[in-house]
Amino acid sequence: MSKKPRRSAAWYGKTDKDGFIHRSWMKNQGFPDHAFDGRPIIGICNTWSELTPCNSGLRDLAEGVKRGVWEAGGFPVEFPVMSLGETQMKPTAMLFRNLLAMDVEESIRAYGIDGVVLLGGCDKTTPGQLMGAASVDLPSIVVSSGPMLNGKWQGQDIGSGTDVWKFSEAVRAGEMTLQDFMNAESGMSRSKGVCMTMGTASTMASLVEAMGMSLPTNAALPAVDSRRMALAHLTGKRIVEMVDEDIKPSDILTRAAFENAIMANAAVGGSTNAVVHLLAIAGRVGVDLTLDDFELGSDIPLLVNCMPSGKYLMEDFCYAGGMPVILRELGARLRDTPTVLGGSITAYADGAECYNRDVIYAMDAPLKPAAGLRVLKGNLAPRGAIVKPSAATEHLLEHEADAYVFDSIEDLKANIDRDDLPVTADTILVLKGCGPKGYPGMPEVGNMPIPGKLVKEGVRDMVRVSDARMSGTAYGTVILHVSPEAQDGGPLALVKTGDRIRISAQNGVLDLLVDEAELQARRDAWEPDAPHYTRGYAKMYVDHVLQADRGADLDFLVGKDTRPVTRESH
């Protein structure tokens, strides 16, 4: 048992006027005197919202957490924070990830709680909550909302996002009717939960488990599976024990834990968005993680046959054994790091069995070899860019061709389907102005559509380069997160249609083949676009956001502040 005094005692343990106020107003909800007897007070940080469909089951899971907290002798209190609906927010949910992190951090700091359960799921909610919790460093644990059931349409499984992109291109090519496209819409999202492909939400849940910040099996249990409610109950029970044992995020989120996450991301064919999120979380806990560290996963083979890198979905991944099997397959590569259970992450793999080798492959007989994210650098991306080989067309990973440049997302949308667009299947499409500052918020538009005239010819992939992100459900030979971004004066801003670009994923190269004197002349003439926002949070974001290679956090939020709050409100 911890000998540290309860943090909540500064709110609820005093017998003066302030203690009276804190307790009395809480009692209007029907809590009895003995609820304030010094037991751990556990915050349940809930991102439930009807505007975040992925998180629509979290209100129910919160009740499971409460059951576990009460059983373990704690006092559960649920509180809301901003919810980020990836599929619903404009201009992009990523613009608000850091705002959610601020909301979480300040809520945890201001309220009299001893530990916190983070209920998240949709893409930006999990990293935003982890960033905020890490900056306060109270005992914390994650329960994810879980993936939807497999999509179904015309007797086949269809996957969130991945099949949206495929169907959309098929309609543009005249290969799918608009009526079929509309009919598939209802069959894709059949239950509460996050995308059932290995998109960003399922990726982050998988990495949270690989880092030991959740209980085992958290990543893949379907949202509507009764075992997820049981997991919520067990998590509530465990957070009370973690408070007594004083296990904090800083104890778990070590550099070795991030290395495990990088390797796990490669093994599951995880989202490219994991890069900016892991970098941002590392910045909050003081771990010196850099973009170059993601090369650690470059030689890890792809083990999970899940869309967009394979053919199955998260429900199948669950039934095949889930993340415990992946951790077992990583074997000796896995770093021995602590977890929310107090022991080593290696214990998460104990007893793990694979029940379907067509869904989870073995390390010595993988789905694809050396499929982890690759970091590219060169005069077009001095501070780096990334590509996901497992979702790319292999022969395009070594490519040199002329560029066709879109100066903005509006330029792209207005011109991509022009019949006279001067492009071929070999052309490298370039999109500017979609980085953290430029959009703002670094949206998921990097997997720009194939030009209409080429789609009709059967082209389904081209090399695409931008300072944007792409959905974890997306696929293609897409070069992302070019840093510095165009709006920040990076070399991407200088590219013109007809310039030659060379990409080599094997050698980690992204070069603009233009004479330096010409580039300098362009640089001297360049001016940034006028800002899209001049007030509110968006202005603060643009003024303070870091580049993608540093996680796109706000510069003044990097690090943590664990000082106690001593001043009262009355």
The sign one gets for the Cα dihedral 232, 234, 239, 242 is: negative
**Contacts of 173 by beta carbon, 8 Å cutoff, 6+ apart:** 455, 456, 458
Say if residues 35 and 108 touch (Cβ distance below 8 Å).
no
Residue 447: Cβ within 10 Å count: 24
Residue 143: Cβ within 10 Å count: 30
Distance CA 354, CA 363 (A): 12
Distance CA 240, CA 259 (A): 28
pLDDT value of residue 2: 45
Per-residue pLDDT reduced to its tens digit, 540-551: 999 999 999 999
Distance CA 451, CA 422 (A): 10
Across the strands, what pairs with 406? 431
Residue in 550, 481, 514 with CA at minimum distance from that of residue 379: 514
Per-residue pLDDT reduced to its tens digit, 79-97: 999 999 999 999 999 999 9
Task: Give the DSSP H/E element, type plus range, for residue 62.
Answer: helix 58-71
Distance CA 58, CA 67 (A): 14
Task: Give the DSSP H/E element, type plus range, for residue 172.
Answer: helix 162-172
Per-residue pLDDT reduced to its tens digit, 280-307: 999 999 999 999 999 999 999 999 999 9
Say if residues 131 and 102 touch (Cβ distance below 8 Å).
no
pLDDT value of residue 3: 61
Amino acid at 20: F
Distance CA 557, CA 134 (A): 11
Q: How far is CA 451 from CA 120, 180, 461, 472, in A?
A: 37, 22, 10, 22
Amino acid at 71: E
The sign one gets for the Cα dihedral 126, 127, 131, 132 is: negative
Distance CA 249, CA 253 (A): 6
Per-residue pLDDT of the chain (570 residues; tens, 9 = 90+): 446 789 999 999 999 999 999 999 999 999 999 999 999 999 999 999 999 999 999 999 999 999 999 999 999 999 999 999 999 999 999 999 999 999 999 999 999 999 999 999 999 999 999 999 999 999 999 999 999 999 999 999 999 999 998 999 999 999 999 999 999 998 999 999 999 999 999 999 999 999 999 999 999 999 999 999 999 999 999 999 999 999 999 999 999 999 999 999 999 999 999 999 999 999 999 999 999 999 999 999 999 999 999 999 999 999 999 999 999 999 999 999 999 999 999 999 999 999 999 999 999 999 999 889 999 999 999 999 999 999 999 999 999 999 999 999 999 999 999 999 999 999 999 999 999 999 999 999 999 999 999 999 999 999 999 999 999 999 999 999 999 999 999 999 999 999 999 999 999 999 999 999 999 999 999 999 998 899 999 999 999 999 999 999 999 999 999 999 999 999
Q: Tell the residue number behind the tokens 């999202």, with chain if given.
A: 189
Say if residues 137 and 560 touch (Cβ distance below 8 Å).
yes
Amino acid at 306: C
Number of H helices, E strands in the chain: 18, 14
Say if residues 293 and 260 touch (Cβ distance below 8 Å).
no
pTM of the model: 0.96
Say if residues 359 and 302 touch (Cβ distance below 8 Å).
no
Distance CA 67, CA 351 (A): 28
Distance CA 179, CA 185 (A): 10
Pairing status of strand 500-504 against strand 509-512: antiparallel
Chain-centre distance for alpha carbon 124: 6
Would you give the DSSP letter of residue 96? G
Distance CA 479, CA 83 (A): 29
Q: What share of the chain is helix, strand, coil (3-state, %, to 5)?
A: 40, 15, 45
Across the strands, what pairs with 41? 75
Across the strands, what pairs with 400? 502
Amino acid at 224: V
pLDDT value of residue 370: 87
Say if residues 309 and 300 touch (Cβ distance below 8 Å).
no
Chain-centre distance for alpha carbon 91: 17
Distance CA 7, CA 38 (A): 10
10 Å CB burial of residue 458 (0-12, 13-18, 19+) is exposed
pLDDT value of residue 1: 42
Q: Tell the residue number behind the tokens 């409460």, with chain if given.
A: 66
Say if residues 261 and 274 touch (Cβ distance below 8 Å).
yes
Per-residue pLDDT reduced to its tens digit, 427-461: 999 999 999 999 999 999 999 999 999 999 999 99
* Residue ranges of E strands in 280-373: none
Q: How far is CA 314 from CA 148, 190, 214, 218, in A?
A: 8, 13, 18, 12
Task: Give the DSSP H/E element, type plus range, for residue 500.
Answer: strand 500-504
Amino acid at 447: N
Tokens of 566: 């001593």
